[in-house]
Chains A and B, each alone.
Chain A
Amino acid sequence: MRIDDQKVSQSAAFVGDAELVDAELDDSHGSQFRLAGDLAVWLVILIELVTFGLFFMVFAFKRAFQVDLFNRMQSTLDLHSGVVNTILLITSSWFVARCVAAVRKGQSQAGARWLALAIVCGAAFLVMKTVEFKAKFDLGVNLSTNDFYMLYFTLAGFHMLHVVVGVIILAMLLVMVRRGKVAANNMHALETGAAFWHMVDLLWIILFPLVYVMR
């Protein structure tokens, strides 16, 4: 492969230009290599992942030097609430994936129903998390209690903010799907919102075992 060809291939691989990438990368797979959603939002997703990744590292390494404290404090968290929240986010992510598949097939009504279910799960997560935080605050536990709770409230609170933003985005998408502004021939907004929502789910998948289960 000539150098010019290589440059084209690398550039196409990054931006997801389906035609260029098809020519270079498509194999017997038969489908297009394409980044689903807006490139700018995917860059935001990358930044979010790096930020949370650093938070996860800080939590894990702080724990390494205060194992007893972190284990004792972890046992004061509600594991049942943690697992229900995990199931809610995973299921919500599944509903969004189902919505995208339905709208692509031209089934906007079904897509709207999947999206509404996803919003219900996201809202339920927010209610449960609020109850969990309130129970801690009522006991006088807060950010300044100790290192564990400082990191717990920071991580879970920051993640919760993303869930709030995600639910608002899903609600806006629901209106767009119902009004026909998002359809099989115009998937950009829906794919972009879906990518953000899946990121929120992805972060919780790491947060749950790290904060609630690891001993």
Chain B
Amino acid sequence: MRAGVGVLKAIQSNDLVWFGLILATLITFWFGESGLSDSARGVAVLVIFGLAYAKAAGVILQFMELKHAPWLWRLLLLGWLTVVVLGILLAWLIGDLRA
């Protein structure tokens, strides 16, 4: 019991973020491996890039420590991420409409 409490206390935010990142990666992989990225199309793209956004935000805020940084740096990196993901989604939509 005491050992269990010790392990829980040793867990850092870094560990929880890593676990979330791995989980999101495996879900993304499953979309590709199962063929869902083909069959679910628009929904699949939204899920895959929703997960990619969450993963990247986790790295930016936790690992890069921007959650404790001046707001302008948070804005710059999260802004970059938002523009890139929205751009990719827009390109996908154009491709889908043309197909």
Would you call B8 an interface residue if the criterion is a C-beta within 8 Å of the partner chain's C-beta atoms?
Answer: no
Task: For A56, list chain B residues within 8 Å (CB).
Answer: 84, 87-88
Secondary structure type dominating chain B contacts: helix
Band of interface residues on A: 35 or more
Task: For A32, list chain B residues within 8 Å (CB).
Answer: 68
Contact indicator B68/A214 (Cβ below 8 Å): no
Contact indicator B32/A212 (Cβ below 8 Å): yes
Interface residues contributed by chain B, number (CB under 8 Å): 54
- What separation, in Å, do the CA atoms of A195 and B69 have in the docked complex? 12
Interface string of B11-35 (1 = CB under 8 A from A): 0101101100110011011011100
- What separation, in Å, do the CA atoms of A60 and B83 have in the docked complex? 13
Task: For A42, list chain B residues within 8 Å (CB).
Answer: 73
Would you call A67 an interface residue if the criterion is a C-beta within 8 Å of the partner chain's C-beta atoms?
Answer: yes
Interface string of A29-56 (1 = CB under 8 A from B): 0011111100000100010011001001
Task: For B84, list chain A residues within 8 Å (CB).
Answer: 53, 56-57, 206
B29 to chain A, nearest CB (A): 4
Task: For B85, list chain A residues within 8 Å (CB).
Answer: 206
Interface string of A1-35 (1 = CB under 8 A from B): 00000000010111110000100010000011111
By Cβ-Cβ distance, the 8 closest A-B pairs, closest first, are: A60-B91, A64-B95, A94-B18, A13-B70, A83-B29, A213-B32, A64-B94, A36-B65
Q: Add 16 more A-B contacts to A91-B18, A202-B59 (CB < 8 A).
A: A12-B70, A13-B70, A16-B70, A36-B65, A42-B73, A65-B95, A82-B29, A86-B29, A90-B55, A98-B12, A198-B63, A202-B64, A205-B56, A205-B59, A208-B28, A214-B48
